[in-house]
Amino acid sequence: MINYKKEISNLILNILSIDENEIYENISLIKEKDKGDYTFPCFTLSKKLKKSPKEISDYLKEKIIIPNFIEKIESVNGYLNFYLNKEELTKAVFKEFDEKGYDYGKSKIGLGKTVLIEYSSPNIAKPFHIGHLRTTVIGHALYNIYKFLGYNTISINHLGDYGTQFGKLIEAYKLWGNEYDLENNSMDQMVQMYVRINKLCSEDEQVLERCRENFRLLESKDKYCVEIWNKFKTLSMEEFKKIYDILNINFDSYKGEASYASSMDEIISKLESKGKITESEGAKIVNLDNEGISTPCIVQKANGSSIYATRDLAAIIYRAKTYDYDKSIYVTGCEQDLHFKQIFAVAKYLDLDEKYINGLTHVSYGMYRLKEGKMSTRQGNFIKLEDILNESILKAKEIIREKNPDLENIDDTAKKVGIGAVIFSDLYNSRIKDEVFDIDTMLSFQGETSPYIQYMYVRINSIIKKSSQNVLLKDINYSKLSDEQTYSIVKLLYNFTDIVIDSSTKNEPYILSRYLIDLAKNYSIFYNQNKVLSDDIDERNARLYLINIVGNVLKSGCELLGIQMPDKM
């Protein structure tokens, strides 16, 4: 499809000898109706050309030879506004869809590049609670988005399967293992043990020391400790898989923290050889003042045990060697901002190619909090994600049954609608924003929600099915698509690829979410203003082809977010 931004940039470059990027990067879409489609602000050129922005825009307007794809150009207060030829744009969109079908919007900008995305990464022997939702759905959406753009994308579930917490659980098992039935409701049983041992640790320092010793023994491959650790891990993975199956998520790698335990000595040795290790109260640390970070990074505890920062450093080395990545993204909460600044800084001392260092990216997000305060597994203060998902499915089923009591496959539809509602509510705002968890708001089926988008998609499918027509591109009379509301939809369809690219560039799925709502709303207005199955055959064909593209983009876009589309509702 024509890159209009690029073509407009070339029109300006034909007149002015200016750096191409300076022109291209400043051309933007106009969101207001009736003011054009693209604009170029001439203010950035004023100092260089020693002319006012208005003089520059007036000059360019007079000098540019208008090509077929441009309807007109206007100079407005230093802005050069371009109006695209409506019919030419519509033809370009329809032609692209005719060639690509459901792959409409896909790009190859990522070909030859590898992106790693680490997300979800729950802790073994801890419940998959609502706090894990954000990393899981944001990460999965980014995984789909990068893949859609042609990148070789690898999803990594860096399981929290190592650390002092397992020393605590092992101690709990030693003390009370015969009191708990781990074969039934295993996660609930492990949580009860974890809460109980944490309470005891807070009351008795000797118990805490035994827990630390258990973890040291686990690192030393003590047979009993490893056996109990494996038991906790197996039971936990069975529980996690249930959640991933509900969300329809799979990972390319489940390589967790424990996988890198054997590389600790290598990391410490590399840092010591560079003179970067100092001791503080028996612990080994890396001072990062030179990197502008006042808090040093601890790489080994005073008792000789490893710490998760060191395991993250070992993972970076492993991933660089294994995947030769161009970008390595970590999707975690903003509470870990300092941690990732530290390990990205320390990674510079590990003899890695600059490409791998530059590719390290922390995609942080605001936290979910209960109305009562912060969630804590230690205190048993959390909401299980499985309960939320199941409740959303049940509520969706009730609503659908009221609207369509005879609907076939209602369970499948309710699952798609209910799960979609939870995912979309998380992805509709910028990831940086903190969210106070409110189940009523999350499960609302009114307003700007995925059920609204799904309903528009179902309506489109219903119309297409009712028409019983397979409209071909050669059957389109473009003069039947000249009204402003149709053009608004065509512009949105044209921008689909750019929206996905923008979502990847900023690592912000909400850009795509807002776009899909905008497209669904514009379709609704179009539907109310135009009879799709018109008696005029040319009108009918043109409108059917248009809404077919809309339906495909709604489905494709939602699937990028991790939301499945029902056939009926």
Q: pLDDT of 423-445, one tens digit each? A: 999 999 999 988 776 666 666 66
pLDDT in tens, 458-481: 999 999 999 988 899 999 999 999
Q: What are phi and psi of 228, to 5 degrees?
A: -65, -40
What integer pLDDT is reported at residue 525 of this predicted model? 95
Measured distance CA(383)–CA(366) in Å, rounded: 17
Q: What architecture (CATH level 2) is domain 114-369? A: 3-Layer(aba) Sandwich (3.40)
pLDDT computed for residue 372 by the predictor = 56
Starting at the earlier edge strand, list the strands of the sheet with 28-29: 28-29, 38-41, 79-84, 70-76
Residue ranges of the chain with per-residue pLDDT less than 70:
369-382, 437-445
Residues of the chain with CATH 1.10.730.10: 385-561
pLDDT in the model for residue 101: 94
CATH 3.40.47.40 fits 385-561, yes or no: no
Architecture of domain 4-84: 2-Layer Sandwich (3.30)
* Cα–Cα separations (whole angstroms), residue 348 to 177, 254, 259, 340, 417: 44, 26, 22, 13, 46
Query: Torsions phi, psi of 156, nearest 5?
Result: -125, 125
pLDDT of residue 378: 47
Residues of the chain with CATH 3.40.50.620: 114-369
Residue extent(s) of CATH 3.30.1360.70 domains in the chain: 4-84
Q: What b/e readout covers 92-126, taking b as 16+ CB neighbours within 10 angstroms?
A: bbbebbeeeeeebbebeebeebbbbbbbbbbbbbb
For residue 438, what pLDDT is reported? 67
User: CA nearest 170: which of 200, 210, 199?
Assistant: 210
* pLDDT for the residue 445: 66
Residue 367 is predicted with a pLDDT of: 82
SS3 382: coil
**Within 13 Å, how many C-alpha atoms sit on residue 259's CB side?**
17
Instruction: Provide the CA 165 distance to its chain's centre, in angstroms.
Output: 29
Count of CB atoms situated within 10 Å of the CB of 352: 17
